[in-house]
Chains A and B, each alone.
Chain A
Amino acid sequence: MSASPALDHIEAGPHGHHYTTTGLDSRKIAVWAFIGSECMLFASLISTYLIYKGRSVVGPFPHEACNPPACATALKPILNIPVTSASTFVLLMSSLAMVLALAAVENRNLPKYSLGDRILGSSKLWLWATCILGATFLGFQSYEFTSFVHEGLSIRTNLFGSSFFTLTGFHGAHVTAGVIWLGTLLAIDYKRGLEPGDAINVDIAALYWHFVDVVWIAIFTLVYLIK
């Protein structure tokens, strides 16, 4: 058996099978239940952001300029839509890379006829792509956070700062955990290769990754675009 026997456990082949009622992998069921709980987690964070929208007593504010006395000096609206649009695009493309990584692992043993096939079929390439795009998104977030702090908005400045940094910070923490998870899969791919039997593990990581992307879709609209 392989060096990471946990990955071979239930689905691997005719040996080591356990009867299941649904014919589905238990880990996939568990991860969807987990995603259900994450829906409520992010709904609470987003609700709080929306509840406190427009209620900060002092600036800076997301979409409006801030003038004395709410601000010591006049400030422009703090959210940077062009930069965030770019980071949103990056995260969306990371989902594409993720989907291709999973397909590459599932189809590992299919014949590859052209260069295009080989590119599409390289799980390492697409896992790298997902990680790099994810890390790029995190880079954008760090840039945004630090520039906001420079412009006078920290997590303790006002309601906007508290709810914004907590919401996007939780999201960023989820992205970070995802990048680490995918990095681990990448390391396994280098160490012994990801076989179709490992597809379930990549699938679970992918579901988590896409969900984090989908939460960002909601955040981008509700926080950045809606004034």
Chain B
Amino acid sequence: MAHNDSAPRGGHGAEQGHGAAGAAHAAAHDAHAHPTWKQYRWVAVILTAITVVEVWVYYIPSFTRTKLFVPSLLIMSAVKFAIVVLFYMHLRYDARLFRALFTGPLIIAIVTLISLMFLFGHLAIRLAS
């Protein structure tokens, strides 16, 4: 019978050939690192906290007028983005392949967006006058 059987279990590329043991693993939760309820709760708390700060900061006119306002918002939302992706979407604990499949397009998307900002005049690098 020419049919390849193996018991791949999600997570690590190196986990080939687990055979029956892999099936037993499938019944319990994954053997590799896995966020716990505590961690999920912490992530939720941090997400809420950052959102609160973002909105709070929006209502401080003296801050919104500074050059720091936009970068600080971008950083805060980048952090929120990252922790949802790393922890909720499990990218921190999953196979490196998924990280590559996500960050590649993400980088190209961000670079394209920034290029378009330059091309349409919303961003400018001021050379020596």
Contacts and interface: CB of A to CB of B under 8 A. Distances in A.
In this complex, which of A29, A40, A225 has the most chain B Cβ atoms within 10 angstroms of its Cβ?
A225
Contact of A40 (B16, B76, B98, B105): B105
A174 interface: no
Interface string B7-35: 11111111110001001001111100001
Interface in B48-94: 48, 51, 54-55, 58, 64, 69-70, 73-74, 76-77, 80-81, 84-85, 88-89
Interface stretch (A15-23, A67-75, A149-157, A175-183): A15-23
Contacts of A13: 23, 26
Interface stretch (A95-103, A135-143, A165-173, A184-192): A95-103
Contact of A23 (B14, B58, B104, B113): B14
Nearest to B26: A196
A17 to B, nearest CB: 5
A217 B80 contact: yes
Contacts of B73: 221, 225-226
Contacts of B13: 22-24
Interface in A22-76: 22-25, 28-29, 32-33, 35-37, 39-40, 42-43, 46-47, 50-51, 53
A109 interface: yes
Nearest to A227: B64
Interface in A92-123: 92-93, 95-96, 98-100, 103, 106-107, 109-110, 120
A128 interface: no
- How many A residues are at the interface, by size bracket? 35 or more
Interface in A78-97: 81-82, 85, 88-89, 92-93, 95-96
B16 A23 contact: yes
Contact of B102 (A23, A32, A46, A82): A32
A193 interface: no
B37 A109 contact: no
Given A23-B9, A50-B122, 5 more contacts: A13-B26, A24-B11, A42-B109, A100-B40, A220-B54
Interface of B: 4-16, 20, 23, 26-30, 35, 37, 40-41, 43-44, 47-48, 51, 54-55, 58, 64, 69-70, 73-74, 76-77, 80-81, 84-85, 88-89, 95, 97-98, 101-102, 104-106, 108-110, 112-113, 116-117, 120, 122
12 contacts: A11-B10, A14-B7, A29-B97, A40-B108, A40-B112, A46-B113, A95-B84, A109-B27, A213-B84, A214-B85, A218-B81, A227-B64
